[in-house]
Structure 1
């Protein structure tokens, strides 16, 4: 492959990865929104439209809706976590300019950029699913109270506990990936400045 084709191929891979990330987040968001709508509509109404919802056109609409919701939830999660992200960044970069300079310093090393992209991908999915878990927990709680189920109270408590644990887990994963990324970026930039580029680690940069 020629040098001229590499940037284009890299761009295609990055765009594909972004599409998958947004869709993964959007699937959870769509499930949560659908659960809330189903709870409002009620059990009887949902039984009447079950056949329509399982049709091919409905699946196509659902896929499009999942992607759109994924974009919204990704941006919402990014906004929600702005403050903790900035606090983590300040541990390794005193100013925004020093952070920007560090990011520019590794651009000449494709293996570091690739690791950076992989870290950002995991970070986005974790932060998006943090919101997904909260919405899914709320939706499941509504469904339990609105639909005819046995052991309603036990199920309600189980859903709240499980949803809280999952949301906490995704937050901790996001925090760990983000902090590790900033730490490694600072180390890599330092090595590049010294003429000895680092060989490991990813970058959980602002996305």
Structure 2
């Protein structure tokens, strides 16, 4: 949990730094550059990244919860059915460990969906503030790449979430899959669990 929150927080901190660079401009940025490279700034940066990671993880979970619950209804008709399946899975340590790994990957994809959007916006703002060759081309390229990356993280999060619910239903014998819905195909190493 510590590592995944830090991985998410580093992206959020980078977006915040880009926003600051865009706001203060080139002259002030050049003056502050030596301070940013100090060991003290590194320690503060790691602590800040961790704190931002927690905030972003909770915000992303809150925003995506309604959609995640709709995905869950494909496999579990009620909250109690889902909770019961989670309890039954806990009796199998190997499966529970795989579920934790899957949850970690889902959190990272979820956090980086929002990081990608934030980094795209703040990078665009910073590029608009600074003068350099081929700025317009760079701006369009960065924007397109950021949006494609965000979409990729959303698709990965959705696929991992659906696969997790499907595997949880299969492994605990509580499958309520509608025959009209195709099963998601993912490697067997991906395991179940709702993102917290």
Asked if Structure 1 and Structure 2 have the same fold, meaning a TM-score greater than 0.5 normalized by the shorter chain, the answer is yes
Please report the RMSD computed on the Cα atoms of aligned residues, expressed in angstroms: 1.3
Write the distance in 2 (CA, Å) between the matches of 1:96 and 1:125. 24
Write the distance in 2 (CA, Å) between the matches of 1:66 and 1:118. 22
Among 158, 178, 191, the alignment partner of 1:202 is 191
Counterparts in 2 of 1:201 and 1:174: CA distance versus 1, 3 Å:
closer
How many correspondences in the alignment?
Answer: 183
Write the distance in 2 (CA, Å) between the matches of 1:28 and 1:92. 33
Once the two structures are superposed, what CA deviation does each residue of 1:171-200 show, in whole Å capped at 9, x if it has no partner? 000000000000000011108xxxxxxx97
Give 4+ residue runs of structure 1 displaced > 2 Å after superposition.
Answer: none
Q: What's the offset of the Cα at 1:106? A: 1.2
Among 44, 56, 62, the alignment partner of 1:73 is 56
Among 43, 54, 65, the alignment partner of 2:26 is 43
The corresponding residue for 1:110 is 93
Among 94, 97, 118, the alignment partner of 1:135 is 118
Write the distance in 1 (CA, Å) between the matches of 2:58 and 2:108. 12
Among 156, 160, 165, the alignment partner of 2:143 is 160
5+ residue gaps, structure 2: 175-187
The corresponding residue for 1:23 is 6
What is the TM-score normalised by the length of structure 2? 0.91
Q: What's the offset of the Cα at 1:201? A: 4.8
